[in-house]
Structure 1
Amino acid sequence: MANSLEIQQTIAQALNVCPPFKTEQEMITELKRRIQFLKDTLKQSGLKVYVLGISGGVDSLTAGMMTQRAINELREEMGDSAYRFIAVRLPYKQQADEAEAMQSIEVIAPDGCEIINIAPSVEGMVSSVHALQTVAEAKRDFVIGNIKARERMVAQYAVAGTYDGLVIGTDHAAEAVMGFYTKFGDGAFDIGPLIGLVKNQVRAFAHYLGAPDYLVNKVPTADLEDLKPGLPDEVAHGVSYDDIDAFLHGKSVSSDIFKKIVDTYHKSMHKRKLPIGP
């Protein structure tokens, strides 16, 4: 039977977890590698535009700053002004942390910005699904939260289709291990520049790129459920990001935390798989 460390290493390998940064130079080298990945992928696609939804959290902030830097470098290297990054704001009615979201846009300084309020499309879908009117309030609220996430991705792909671009995702290892995203919602995208990073590495990138501390260290929240507005990710997880990061980097964690992460990883396995056939 595998011991705890072996299980942690197996999961980390499956998620392609980036090793801890031993020095600042290691962090910078990895950041540059990922920015180059964004540049190479866009060139190979034959397209010239990236699209990303900006939520106000550190993940989309970091991915946005990386993407804009990649686009700036591509324009200079290729002598082609057609390369662009379009940030998309996707509030549901009035977002509680709208100020932080707009501050993130200011920090990123994208080439363009679209604002699409998803409330009408969400409400239209909810009113059309008659089964939703008969379930318990908490269940209904949770399902509607997933509808919000999926409508946001529909909007991003609509923008990307309009500009002939690719959609950037913000998934990273600390969310992936917990299955903390909506299947075919924020889990659907073309390019994932943060894949394999743990949360403290995402923050390290943001800090190095010049993001202000209050955005780098903002309490993460998906904020999808009306009955639980601003619910912190770590409350939803039942474990802290520091504990998740430690687990993924093969460090010792308590037996309760180990069990919580491993159990959640297995329960959410379907989210990390392609659709299956017979």
Structure 2
Amino acid sequence: MIKKTTLSPEKVNTQIVKWLKDYALNAKSNGFVIGISGGIDSAVTSTLCAQTGLEVLCIMMPIHQAPSHVSRAEEHIKQLQERFPNVKNATSDLTPVFEAFKTAVPVYENTAKMNLSLANTRARLRMSTLYYYAGIHGLLVAGTGNKVEDFGVGFFTKYGDGGVDLSPIADLLKSDVYALGHFLKVPNSILVAAPTDGLFGDDRSDEDQLGASYDELEWAMLQVELGKSISEFEGRERDVFEIYNRLHTANQHKMNPIPVCLIEKK
């Protein structure tokens, strides 16, 4: 199920950088603000934005963050600033804000649902923070979601990391993002790290949460596009196909426009 990208990283890089710059200039924006997590998606997105020559503000927003996530984010920002003079950085430690929020809401016996709600709260606090910086500096919030996350399994927080102004890598599969990351010379510590959203304060990976790797989910996404059905697969392939379809169906509310009650007009 391992997929290798067929895209040309150099051509993709050129296209996205031009798209970013044109969009920002048309919007009369000064540049971009990006949340840096220490993961591949935010590293690639921030490097693409940096190449526009416009202002790029990289924000670290730790909330009980694992030290490895913080060190990877710091390494990436340091490298980016050495390469691009238009890159600035700031840190907003949101741990006290998160802890204050927890005191303002009730504790529930269903800890699994409560912990998921709190994980999504972390993402929404970060979104609010990015828009604060965006408003102050006249910047656009650049999204870091890829195609599998945004349009395949809906692996993002609604009005959290899904709350952005533009999505430069949302038409790239995860394997494409890694290929672009190698081309852009993203730090190796990020390239080899297991993908994780870091929202639960532990070491669980995206694969732990999803039940399948990104290579597997890309494979399933392709099978759906080809019109295949679950009856055509056995064993692990059948399991992955079922996981993909279940998540894709359950998360349609994230991928589709907000439903509007249209009033009948006589």
| TM over 0.5, shorter chain | yes
The answer for unaligned runs of 5 or more in structure 1 is 1-18, 73-82
Which residue of 1 is the match for residue 87 of structure 2?
Answer: 111
Q: Does residue 224 of structure 2 align to residue 248 of structure 1?
A: no
After superposition, the C-alpha distances for 1:9-31 in whole angstroms (9 at most, x for unaligned) are: xxxxxxxxxx97436xx332122
Q: Distance in 2 between matches of 1:224 and 1:159?
A: 21
The answer for unaligned runs of 5 or more in structure 2 is 262-266
Q: Distance in 2 between matches of 1:134 and 1:235?
A: 24
The one-letter code sitting in structure 1 at the alignment partner of 2:255 is R
Q: Does residue 206 of structure 2 align to residue 233 of structure 1?
A: yes
Instruction: Kindly indicate whether the alpha-carbon contact (under 8 Å) linking 2:141 and 2:165 is maintained by their aligned counterparts in 1.
Output: yes
Secondary structure at the aligned position of 2:153 is classed as: coil
Instruction: Kindly indicate whether the alpha-carbon contact (under 8 Å) linking 1:92 and 1:119 is maintained by their aligned counterparts in 2.
Output: yes
The one-letter code sitting in structure 2 at the alignment partner of 1:138 is A
Taking only aligned residues, the RMSD between alpha carbons, in angstroms, comes to 2.0
Instruction: Kindly indicate whether the alpha-carbon contact (under 8 Å) linking 1:222 and 1:230 is maintained by their aligned counterparts in 2.
Output: no
Query: What is the TM-score when the length of structure 1 is the normalising length?
Result: 0.82
Please list, as runs of the form range in 1=range in 2, the aligned pairs for 1:214-229 lying within 5 A after superposition: 214-226=189-201, 229=202
Q: Does residue 138 of structure 2 align to residue 164 of structure 1?
A: yes
After superposition, the C-alpha distances for 1:208-240 in whole angstroms (9 at most, x for unaligned) are: 0112333112111112114xx021001111011
Equivalent of residue 51 in structure 2, options 69, 76, 81: 69
Q: Does residue 6 of structure 2 align to residue 22 of structure 1?
A: yes
Equivalent of residue 56 in structure 2, options 75, 85, 93: 85
Q: Does residue 111 of structure 2 align to residue 137 of structure 1?
A: yes
Secondary structure at the aligned position of 2:79 is classed as: helix
Q: Distance in 2 between matches of 1:144 and 1:262?
A: 26
After superposition, the C-alpha distances for 1:231-270 in whole angstroms (9 at most, x for unaligned) are: 1001111011111122334489712211110121011000
After superposition, the C-alpha distances for 1:99-138 in whole angstroms (9 at most, x for unaligned) are: 11111212322621110011122122221123xx133333
Q: Does residue 41 of structure 2 align to residue 59 of structure 1?
A: yes
Q: Distance in 2 between matches of 1:119 and 1:21?
A: 38
Query: What is the TM-score when the length of structure 2 is the normalising length?
Result: 0.85
Instruction: Kindly indicate whether the alpha-carbon contact (under 8 Å) linking 1:203 and 1:217 is maintained by their aligned counterparts in 2.
Output: no
Instruction: Kindly indicate whether the alpha-carbon contact (under 8 Å) linking 1:61 and 1:108 is maintained by their aligned counterparts in 2.
Output: no
Q: Distance in 2 between matches of 1:28 and 1:119?
A: 39
How many residues matched? Answer: 243
